[in-house]
Amino acid sequence: MRGYSEDYFSSRRMFNWGDEWHMSFAGCGFRSIYYVGALSCILERVPRLVCGASTFGGASSGCLVAAALAVGIPIEKLCFMILITAKEARKHILGVFHPRFSLLRVVQRSLLDMLPEDAHLRATGRLCVSLTQLSNGRNVLVSEFASRDELVQVLTCSCFFPIYCGFIPPSYRGVLYMDGALSNNMPLFEHRNTITLAPFSGESDICPTEGTFNFFEAHYSNVSIQVNTGNVHRVCTSFLPPRLEKLAEICHNGYMDALRFLKKQVSAQTYH
């Protein structure tokens, strides 16, 4: 497998191997499979970019990806979790809106199966989860976890989208929270050495490029999203469980977008 020169990487004005760096994942529902593809590409070609990151941040479904990286869960398990969740939702005629289906319950069960007993110790200081207070809409960033159960609570709170995930919001330390993407969809965005990822075309470091006409660019919760037909489709389908073939396509797109990002940073002679 061909790799990239870290020496050339360090010459980037926006990235410095000498400083600590971070990775941040925007919330995107079922399109989080995009991150599996992107991470697969990076781990194949510049593994240190992931393995050496100081902090992983995320909101909503993005925080599940960040948690997997912070705790040390292989991306294969993360991929399996996303596929199982989509499969469970597709069993019902109304999908996630079927009264017998609870997306939050499936996520909780998957986290309990996937997270090791010391997950909270591994995650403390390395994971930054974005939450939105239900009472006032204020953003809260959590990076310390007293127990594995508390870690699961925080991740669940960040994934709770009102009505879509139900009507009873989850709580963390006695406070009700909802989807972190509603107030800050890209935690750690303000740090210079943060690599941002989003499956929507915009200004994130790793994201799709759009060949269609862009009406304008919207900035929402620290994420820049181009307003175009492609993104309208992406946002809408984030809430719907895609078929296996579509998930595979999204995953492949993530791989290719990450590859394009890496190629922008290096010259042809750095291949080996």
Higher pLDDT, 91 or 63: 63
The average confidence (pLDDT) of the chain is 86
Task: Give the integer Cα–Cα distance in Å for 90 and 96.
Answer: 8
Residue-wise pLDDT for 109-165, tens only, equals 999 999 999 999 999 999 999 999 999 999 999 999 999 999 999 999 999 999 888
Quote the tokens at residue 243.
């078929």
Q: Out of 15-24, 147-156, 196-205, 207-216, pick the least confident.
A: 207-216
* CB neighbours of residue 144 within 10 Å: 12
Q: Which domains does the chain have, with CATH numbers?
A: 22-264 (3.40.1090)
**Which pLDDT value is given to residue 18?**
75
Of the candidates 193, 272, 199, 251, the one whose C-alpha atom is nearest the C-alpha of residue 10 is 193
Active-site residue numbers?
A: 60, 179
Residue-wise pLDDT for 150-199, tens only, equals 999 999 999 999 988 888 999 999 999 999 999 999 999 888 889 999 99
Q: What percent of the chain is modeled with pLDDT above 90?
A: 61
